Structure 1
Amino acid sequence: MRILKYILLLLLLFSIAFLVFVVTQKGDYKIVRSKEIKIEKDIVFNFVTDSSSYQDWSPWKSDEANFKNIKITPNDSLTQNIFISEIKNESLMQFQKTNNGVLITWELNGKLNFNLKLLCVLKGGVDYVIGNKLEEGLENIDTYLVKELKTYNIKINGLVTKHMTNYIQQIDTCNAADFQKVSKAMLQNMLSFVEKNDIEILGLPFITYESVKPNNKEIIFAMCVPVEEEILTTPGSEISGGHFDEFLAVKTTLTGDYSHRKEAWNKAKNYARKNKLNEDTNGKFIEVYKTSLPKERKPSKWITELYLPVKKKTFTPKPKTETTQENLESTTETNISTKQTEK
């Protein structure tokens, strides 16, 4: 019994000593990790700095950490405060162009609470605990951008009839490089408008273009949601009503990220030319978001239907040469003259 008491006392003393050791560990830290992402620098930068994409690459769960942007230097760096377990940590991400893509250098510094100190002691130091988190985040970025964005498929469905549709729309213009970010924000704004005004949607959101020219750096488009009846809005409202009549279209299905839209439209145009279909420049060029955010986070599983407005080519037959009395007389005279010459 006395031996058992000594053992318990020793365990108590050891526990106290261990706790004292944990508490007295250095509270400040600074960890740096780097990784090369083999994709264009601007794509990586736009993805990482888009607050709606944090959940796609953050190494912390949404209830574990909170990100707050402090400063964004275009195509160069991102400064943030990251609150982990309610403790502020200062984060700096720098983006440097390389021959193969971009090098991301992620620096994180802050203070450790008791739980993190304990975890660091058990796992061999702060460099392993925080460092592993940074490596996980960088790996998530690489997986999302390189593997997810490069996995796609384009299928030509052929000639279809696109039926008459009423819709409400928000029209905007942006650079081609900013299209995904701008259109995503517009979609959320449109859905909020629909919910606020208790408007019933009859189908999936879609985008219309006045034209689709792959070389254009500027895109004029409208974010739309289909409704039962054409809606009239007050003058000056950013939301307006729209309508298109039934038309023929080449339907193409893109499974994958929107960055492959250009290739999908080009294949649709090539199909039209090969099948003797004229592109209807006065028609509506439409993209329907069949599967997209926020329902599906992985770009490789996004499904977008493209509709290229076309008209069937018409051929006007060449007029037949009429045999007139004058032509007959001329022909007869020529034949007689020829015979006389032969004599």
Structure 2
Amino acid sequence: MKALKIAGIVIGVLIVLVLLLGVIAPKEMKTARSIVINAPREKVFNTVNDLTTWEKWSPWKEMDPESVMTMGEKTEGVGAYYTWKGEKTGSGKMTIEESVLNERILVDVEFDGMGSAKAPFTFTRADNGIQVSWGFTAEMPYPMNAMMLFVDMEEQTGKDFEKGLSNLKNLIEMEEKNSSPKQTIVETDMPFPYVVGVRKTVKMSDVQQFYTENLGKVYSALMGKNITPAGQPCGVYFTWDDASQTSDMMAAIPVSEEVKLGGEFETVTLPKGKAVVLNYYGSYENMDRAHNIVDNYILLKKLEVEMPVMEEYVTDPTTVSDPNQILTRVIYPIK
């Protein structure tokens, strides 16, 4: 009887201790990890935004390979979800709550009987590709939050996220390697001395529309003055501001001499000397990949870029059926 009383007192003290510790312990758990993936931002974003790919890179699927993932009717973008059930990972539901193209994704994670959490992804440009940041925020109910004083939940969860991001990187970069046609990059003379066109600060989401509205006008103006182009239509980039999502750019045609067309048309004298030129084969949607190749080359060679940077659209995409036949020359003048 005495032993029971002592046991009861000990249990009571432990309960009180847990309750007291729960008052002072943090009630929110946060973790975040990042990795740089050498691939176009569209490719990286679309892979995460498509829940059917998660089985290929999820750290928890690797931890519990016998677990079952069941996809919802929608598998991409806002409203997409899947449920999971496993012996080691328990059960729950993942739902995409927010999806902003090429910028961020917010996932809601429901753990059956254990509350929920938010898992945001962000996608930003980095020197060698796209930096993917994956976060996790969960409320720890009182008094269960007391355990956070004794167990480093951030470190444990962080290891899972590091593994998942590493799997994601390997998956995407392997797919890119297998799908990429051969590209060639050289240091050579600047291919033309001038460009003439329409210059404007444009939202990145409106770049294609800007080209469509202006390249034809530039070409017609040149033909009206019997001026022969020195190359194919170009996108000329004086700035590229990720923060404001804008670019000071020009829809232009190369010319061999300075011309004056008047009106909205402007002639720009390009830097003289050498340039790094990449012959890139692939869809315009994957031009991030082309610029990553040139950026890496310039870093390796310790070269200094002189703006503006140019894309010369050599192949008319309406004349080929395979996007890998579309040739774009990416031109970086160097000092």
Query: Could you tell me the TM-score, scaled by structure 1's length?
Result: 0.42
Normalising by structure 2, we get a TM-score of: 0.43
Q: Which has the higher contact order (CA 8 A, sep 6+)?
A: 2
